[in-house]
Chains A and B, each alone.
Chain A
Amino acid sequence: MIATGRTVSGAWRGLSPPGVFFALLGLVALLVPFMTLAANRIVAGEGVPAWSVAPPAATLPGLAAIIAGLCLGILSGRQYLRLSGAFLGLGGMLWLLMRGAPALLEGAGEYARVSPAIGFWCLLVVLMLLMADALAQMSPGPAARAALLGAVLGALALILWSGVLAPLSIMQEFGSRRAQFADAVLRHLALAFGSLLTAAAIGFPLGFLCHRRPRLRGAVLPVLSLLQTIPSLAMFGLMIPILGWLGDSVPGARAIGIAGIGFAPAFLALVLYSLLPVVGNTVAGLASTPAAALDAARGMGMTPTERLLRVELPLGLPVILTGLRIVLVQNIGLAVIAGLIGGGGFGTFVFQGLNQTATDLILLGALPTVALALTSAIVMDILVDLARPTRKVSA
């Protein structure tokens, strides 16, 4: 890997340009409020800069860790150091939150709430970009990426479970909605993964038929593209009268949960959105076989089924899996909007929070959605890599 820093002359040699950029952004982010203290969960809070969230003796190690982490990120060529810099910075931020939250709450009143503020989120983004940049340069193999993902998720779970962040407002919102939250997780997963599996069950055969019959492809893909252009709110809205009518007029439909609002219309809308990426990528994947290889396969006496299973499918698998990745990430995000028509999931908290102007309740819905989408994207990327036909053992 050629470090971009090499092309820069003189004193800049050995520095990573993105690293320098991240460090500057990070330092600016340190100057804006790191946490907010509010009198209760509704009113706007007052920003507190990172160095005064707690007495200097308590904030200093955290600040030092963040600055040191940003500085490690500047070095080019040593990607392990840059990666550990990102983790060191994140550790410093965690430290500031752990020390700052109880210190700020002390004597601030019974209903007072502390939350991470703009500075915290900016730093989080900067450090994650640094991490992504370092990882991109290291280009770890599928196994290494899976291990790293596991370690990060494990650490996150440990931090949340240990209760060190319990004083934060978002954790208090969580604390008063444990049962609802567990329900929302299951609903969200059922919506996102259920619609993915349903779309795959319909989309794979449909994609295969489109591949074999160009005329069918000409008819199906435009219709699916049209579906994709319907705005998501409108789509969910459209489902209400359609499924409401079905639920009322078809005997037994209501008994299996088909109604204008709730899980069924949300699920159906997500399935419709998923069809284009699944069918489109299945067609593109199957068509990606080199024409000469296909001609050779026919010429050596493979039947159509043998050609599909031995040649077209293995060669198209990365593209087909990429389609599933698009669908999964898209549906995890879209399922939030399902909350609006009573579909459940993390969207419930987002819309409740919007109604109550309780920012931390919105975050209680939004942050798990983002985490779930990121995790799914990384896992699917690993699967796509594993499916690559000529994957090198060492890669």
Chain B
Amino acid sequence: MIEIDSLTKTYGDMHAVDNVTMTVETGTITVIVGTSGSGKTTLLRMINRLEEPTSGEVRINGEPTHATKPHLLRRRIGYAIQGHGLFPHHTVARNIAAVPRLLGWDRQKIRARVDELLTLFSLDPEAYRDRYPADLSGGQQQRVGVARALASRPDLLLMDEPFGALDPIIRARAQDDLRRIQRQLGSTIMLVTHDMEEAMRLGDRVAVMDAGRLVQHATPAEIIAQPATDFVAEMVGDVERPLRLLSLIPLSELIEDGTAPGAAMPAEASLRDALAACLWTGRSAVPVTVDGVPAGRVTFAAIRARAELHA
């Protein structure tokens, strides 16, 4: 559990981060979202003490971060940034091994861990271990950057716009990968982004920052249904709110008996996908399958009724 307690950072008269208090549960993804200058990156960087707070403190599993020397603290916290920050003069394997080397792991253990991570991120160890970052595509570099941040099995992974430099298709794939790996490893992740879509897609909880303050910290569905301020509503996008909400709800929630014409959709697909299919093909319902087996249908009317509930 990460407890952020009355954390404040001022530069002269300017409050970059203003009295932020929030708690992050172990094994969840918390996305901090805000416009540029909202203090979201400063907040993140105060957690591993790349910035020292002006006042307030951070506790990781009950232990205050200021009780540990900064460089020792950072070795326990993974850190991945936009533009990956890989060392251009080190191979992929050596980049991933950076923190384990700092921690003095033995060779065998490091090698095994590097191969394990490369496999986890769908990069064949034989083919990629000895390449240099410049030989990789943007998406591969980003994956190696995240693998490096996870190498020493950190208590917490901090990510600062990790997908900012990727094109939309690669970014969506990277987000899915991150979600899958986080579920698999049970990691605790705090991720900063300016992209509300990304926040909705990845976050178990979303923290919205505005002018240094934490204006709302809630689940994606709550943020959409009950935005705390006009700013949050604007971030969500008024027009897109119903669609964003539907994108968070799987078909399994509205499944009913009956049949429908046309191509079937899996139960994990979102209501937004089903709505799009109905509109595009002029159907009033779509057939749904669970694990490939026909299990009923979801109707256009049910989707509409669900959207009107808001929450």
Contact = CB atoms under 8 A, between A and B. Distances in A.
A315 B89 contact: yes
Interface in A272-298: 290, 292-298
B102 A299 contact: no
Interface residues of A, number: 20
A315 B88 contact: yes
Nearest to A392: B132
B71 A314 contact: no
Looking at A296, A302, A390, which has the most chain B CB atoms within 10 Å of its CB?
Answer: A296
A303 B149 CA distance: 17
A225 B127 CA distance: 49
A300 B134 contact: no
Given A300-B102, A301-B72, A314-B89, A390 B132 contact: yes
B81 A292 contact: yes
Looking at B71, B74, B85, which has the most chain A CB atoms within 10 Å of its CB?
Answer: B85
Contact of B102 (A298, A301, A311, A390): A301
Interface in B45-91: 48, 50, 70-76, 79, 81-89
Looking at B79, B87, B149, which has the most chain A CB atoms within 10 Å of its CB?
Answer: B87
B102 A306 contact: yes
B87 A301 contact: no
B24 interface: no
B84 A302 contact: no
Contacts of A154: none
A257 interface: no
Interface in A302-316: 302-303, 306, 310-311, 314-315
B233 interface: no
A302 B86 CA distance: 14
B211 interface: no
A311 B87 CA distance: 7
A300 B98 contact: yes
Given A300-B98, A301-B99, A295 B85 contact: yes
B102 A302 contact: yes
Contacts of A390: 88-89, 132, 134
Contacts of A306: 102
A287 to B, nearest CB: 15
A302 B81 contact: no
B94 to A, nearest CB: 10
Interface in B79-134: 79, 81-89, 98-99, 102, 132, 134
Nearest to A292: B85
Contact of B85 (A296, A303, A310, A315): A296
Nearest to B130: A393
B74 A293 contact: no
Looking at A290, A292, A293, which has the most chain B CB atoms within 10 Å of its CB?
Answer: A293
A205 interface: no
Nearest to B158: A299
Contacts of B74: 298-301
A354 to B, nearest CB: 49
Contact of A301 (B71, B85, B86, B89): B71
Interface of A: 290, 292-303, 306, 310-311, 314-315, 389-390
The 3 A-B pairs at the shortest CB distance, nearest first, are namely A389-B89, A296-B85, A299-B79
26 contacts: A290-B85, A292-B83, A292-B84, A292-B85, A294-B85, A295-B85, A296-B84, A296-B86, A296-B87, A296-B145, A297-B85, A297-B87, A299-B48, A299-B74, A299-B85, A300-B74, A300-B98, A300-B102, A301-B70, A301-B72, A301-B99, A306-B102, A311-B87, A314-B89, A390-B89, A390-B132
Interface of B: 48, 50, 70-76, 79, 81-89, 98-99, 102, 132, 134, 145, 148-149, 158
Given A290-B88, A299-B48, A301-B71, 6 more contacts: A290-B85, A292-B81, A293-B87, A295-B50, A296-B79, A390-B89
